[in-house]
Structure 1
Amino acid sequence: MNIETALKEAMATEGAQGASLVDYESGMCLGAVGGGRELDLEVAAAGNTDVVRAKMRTLSSLNLDDSVEDILITLSTQYHIIRLLPTARGNLFLYLVLDRQRANLALARHNLRRIEQALAL
């Protein structure tokens, strides 16, 4: 599955408002679908890069021999899911924003895992 198809699959998740694939070393958004005036996926990509980097520093500081699968940020009206995809081409994450009233969080996480496994980078 290519990036465009992966993002379209993510947007097929009930309640999806935006999805992107981000390189968290550079903060660059490699692809995005959805969003809009109230959800700038480029800005979100850069901001969530800081979140991922902070979590990685924390794991290192704690000397934990473990890895992050995903990070969930819960807002009053949205869920933001960051699914890390360590690959040979760099450190990437899938980012999905969901309407909290319409989304099934467990199903959304399951869908992102499925997309991750099918994504060819």
Structure 2
Amino acid sequence: MNIETALKEAMAVEGAIGVALVDYDSGMSLGSLGGGPELDMDVAAAGNTELVRAKVRTLESLGIEDSIEDVLVTLQRQYHLIRILGSGHGKLFLYLVLNRERANLALARHHLRRIEAELSV
């Protein structure tokens, strides 16, 4: 699955507001869909790069030899789900913003895992 198809698949998740595929080495978005005037996906993706980098550094500092699957930030009206892609994808993460009232978080995580498995960058 290419990047465009992966982003479209993620936007098909119930309650999806926006999605981006992000290189957390550079902070650059490789592609994004959705968002809007109140949610600039490129700015949000760059900001969440710092969150991912901090968590990776913390695991290294603690000597924890494990990998991050995903990070969840819960807001009053939204879920911000960050799926760190496996080693075959470089330093990338999928960033999905969901409407909290409409989304099923477990199902969204499942969809992102499936997209990760089928994504070729």
SS at match of 1:14: coil
Q: How many residues align?
A: 121
Cα distance in 2 for residues equivalent to 1:119 and 1:89: 8
Deviations 1:35-76 (A, max 9, x none): 011010011111000000000011011100100000000000
Q: Give the CA deviation at 1:88.
A: 4.7
Amino acid at match of 1:74: T
User: What is aligned with 1:114?
Assistant: 114
- Extract structure 1 runs of 4+ deviating beyond 6 A: none
Unpaired segments of 5 or more residues in structure 1? none
Identity score, percent: 69
Q: How big is the shift at 1:117?
A: 0.3
- Normalised to the residue count of structure 2, the TM-score between the two structures is 0.97
Shift of the alpha carbon at 1:86? 3.6
Alignment partner, residue 53 of structure 2: 53
**Structure 2 residue runs without a partner (length 5+):** none
Aligned to 2:28: 28
The amino acid of 1:34's aligned partner reads G
Query: CA RMSD of the aligned region, Å?
Result: 0.9
Shift of 1:79: 0.2
